[in-house]
Chain A
């Protein structure tokens, strides 16, 4: 058994860490408070230049071909500094991997280069709808074939990066008569498509620098070849990509949890009460011990899932386990970090309240943790 990263993975991890510390961390608090989005987009462009937007994409399409383990490591390092940047990067890589897995040669050539190079500031996944959250098969946006075009109607909600995405992977109902979930297809819709409107931006609790918007399709006409993968097989085409997405969101949560505990542990070694450093109190030590143990367990689960994905092994169960465990461990770590800082931790003069807000959504998006538990149980029980 070998727990060592390859030299390339170590260099990618170190590059991501250095970039995050120097370029992302100084701006993160201000961007969280509504700072200039140009700075946020500028950082995304720099990350694209370095190859972070297509980590798992083949070199022929402009990617780094660095694999799922490196992607997980990079997202964790970036999330330590700025969770909003990390989620944007995670979604870009997710959309790129879905296109790589299911797209035609023309689609790969057309879209992957622009996502990897940063020509598109971001890429977006449009699955969730007002009435199709955890029940994602309840998609109600329709796509109807009309000659050489598809016509889309309906609305999406909570769509990451919508105002600056160059392309959207949109899930829509193409066969109303099919069994639930069997009549859904995926389409690539370019920004600016006629009939596509970017709706209001949500005011979120955390990850505030990353935009989350409604989308509405009003007789939005897209060419016939915008269909991604097979007709009525949208979920099948995207399943592999979505499993990777879970590893990425677990990795993101891990980064936030580590940032919170690193800050809180260092603080505890300096803050004195009752004439002693608070790190000398058992109550604080237990919080530090519990959180770091859980975060290390999360890291190992995520690495195991990513290594399986990278080597082409089944990883549906492991990805869901990693996502579920890491996001919950990160939330507990952030809770402990705020507790260790006490009243100071509850103010925005210290970064731990931001970490706590940023971590909260990770148990909700990319499949709620309740859905992850269903996936895990299904995967276990189907083999019995």
Chain B
């Protein structure tokens, strides 16, 4: 079985984001990067699937589009258990739209005939949620989004999805398929230190973005900005007991007073 997992490296979301010179995205200067949280669920699910294959050896490829820094995220995925890496080197990936990113991945994946592709349901920074579904469209695969449970039996994927209002849905789909992963699907493992060191020997193939796809953008980001802060106070209304709970929640959420 051939499995692909697509990951993105994103900034630490607690960072202070400053607009770039063109005001079209944030500048990367001084930011620390990590693997997108939803992609960690994708990596974990892909590794679990590989581990279940047992006698049938699978090939689990982890792919990321971006500048040289994304190798760190690829190496983490390799340390967690992926077999080999593919780095689509693109120094301007952060300015590309979901269509362009999906086109790059599809250009590579078309030749590889993956049975199943996992990715996060969205990135924590751009958050379009479009790359997975667009990739499925490009490849002609079936697709399920926001999976919170996954199984594969006799070539059929069964995935549980979280719907609005707490309802759940179950879908079945044929391979090849793209699965976008949501919080709750699994608990990603920590890479062990020996595996982090051993992952140095795993292959990471580097492909140049310009040689894979020359697709132009379909949705151009015009402006990136922080909304003006409103200095108004917050008025809570209701029964005293319910108000106390609300106030406590606000203190926990907005301040460090109850930390530690």
A66–B259 touching, CB < 8 Å: no
Flag whether A18 is at the interface (Cβ < 8 A).
yes
B residues near A52, Cβ cutoff 8 Å:
193
A interface, size bucket? 20 to 34
B residues 68-113 near A (Cβ < 8 Å) are 71-72, 75-76, 79
Neighbour of B192 across the interface among A7, A49, A267, A351, CB < 8 A: A49
Q: Which chain B residues lie closer than 8 Å to A66 at the CB level?
A: 193, 196-197
Indicate if B169 sits at the interface (CB-CB under 8 A).
Answer: no
**Is there an interface contact between B79 and A11, defined as CB atoms closer than 8 Å?**
yes
Are B194 and A64 in touch, CB under 8 angstroms?
A: yes
Contact indicator B196/A267 (Cβ below 8 Å): no
Collect the chain A residues with CB atoms within 8 Å of residue B192's CB: 49-51, 64
Assess whether B194 is in contact with A8, with CB atoms less than 8 Å apart: no
Task: Say yes or no: B196 contacts A351, CB within 8 Å.
Answer: no
Q: Judge if B34 is at the interface, Cβ distance under 8 Å.
A: yes
Could you say which residues of chain A place their CB within 8 Å of the CB of B196? 8, 11-12, 15, 51, 64, 66
Q: How many angstroms from the CA of A49 to the CA of B194 in the assembled complex?
A: 10
Q: Determine whether B202 belongs to the interface, using a CB cutoff of 8 Å to chain A.
A: no
Decide if A55 is an interface residue (CB 8 Å cutoff).
Answer: yes
Query: Which residues from chain B contact A50 at a C-beta distance below 8 Å?
Result: 190, 192-193
- 11 A-B residue pairs with CB within 8 Å: A7-B71, A8-B75, A11-B75, A11-B196, A12-B196, A15-B191, A15-B196, A18-B190, A63-B194, A66-B196, A351-B260
B200 touches A (CB below 8 Å): yes
Q: Quick one: closest A residue to B199, CB to CB?
A: A8
- At the interface, yes or no: B53 with Cβ under 8 Å from chain A? no
* CA of A10 to CA of B190, assembled, Å: 14
Q: Is A1 an interface residue (CB 8 A)?
A: no
Q: Closest residue to A259 on the B side, CB-wise?
A: B260
Chain B residues within an 8 Å CB radius of A64: 192-194, 196-197
- Tell whether A283 is near chain B: CB-to-CB under 8 Å: no
**B29 at interface, CB cutoff 8 A:** no
| With contact pairs A7-B71, A8-B75, A350-B260 given, residues A65 and B197 touching in the complex (Cβ less than 8 Å) | yes
Question: A377 on the interface (CB 8 Å rule)?
Answer: no
- Knowing A15-B196, A64-B196, the reply to whether A351 touches B259 (Cβ < 8 A) is yes
CB distance from B103 to the nearest CB of A (A): 28
CB neighbours of B197 from chain A (8 A): 8, 59, 64-66
Chain B interface bracket (under 10, 10 to 19, 20 to 34, 35 or more): 20 to 34
Residue of B nearest to A55 (CB): B193
Hey, which chain A residues are within 8 Å of B199, CB to CB? Answer: 8
- How many angstroms from the CA of A237 to the CA of B101 in the assembled complex? 57
Is B193 a contact partner of A51 (Cβ separation < 8 A)?
Answer: yes
Q: Which residues of B contact A267 (CB under 8 A)?
A: 256
Closest Cβ of chain B to A118, distance in Å, is 12
- Chain A positions within 8 Å of B, measured between CB atoms, are 7-8, 10-12, 14-15, 18-19, 29, 49-52, 55, 59, 63-66, 70, 263, 266-267, 270, 350-351
Q: B255's closest neighbor in chain A, by CB?
A: A270
Q: Which of B34, B191, B195, B256 contacts A266 (CB 8 A)?
A: B256
Q: Is the CB of B256 within 8 A of A7?
A: no
Q: Looking at the assembled complex, report how far the CB atom of A135 sits from the nearest CB atom of chain B, in whole angstroms.
A: 37
Complex Cα distance, B258 from A350, in Å, reads 8
B72 engages A11 (CB within 8 Å): yes
With a CB–CB cut-off of 8 A, which chain B residues contact A59?
A: 194, 197
B72 adjacent to A10 (CB under 8 Å): yes
Cβ–Cβ < 8 Å partners of B257 in chain A: 270
Cα A70 to Cα B194 in complex, Å, equals: 12
Per the bound structure, the CA–CA distance linking A51 and B79 in Å amounts to 13
Chain B residues positioned under 8 Å from A11 (CB to CB): 72, 75-76, 79, 191, 196
Q: Given the complex of chains A and B, what is the CA–CA distance between A11 and B192 in angstroms?
A: 10
Minimal beta-carbon separation of B14 from chain A (angstroms)? 11
Question: Is B256 touching A263 in the complex (CB atoms < 8 A)?
Answer: yes
- B193 to chain A: which residues have CB within 8 Å? 12, 15, 50-52, 55, 64, 66, 70
How many angstroms between the C-alpha atoms of A242 and B192 in the bound complex? 26
User: Smallest distance from the beta carbon of B71 to chain A beta carbons, Å?
Assistant: 6
Pick the 4 closest A-B CB pairs, nearest first.
A51-B193, A351-B260, A64-B193, A7-B72
- B173-213 vs A: 1/0 string, CB under 8 Å? 00000000000000000111111110110000000000000
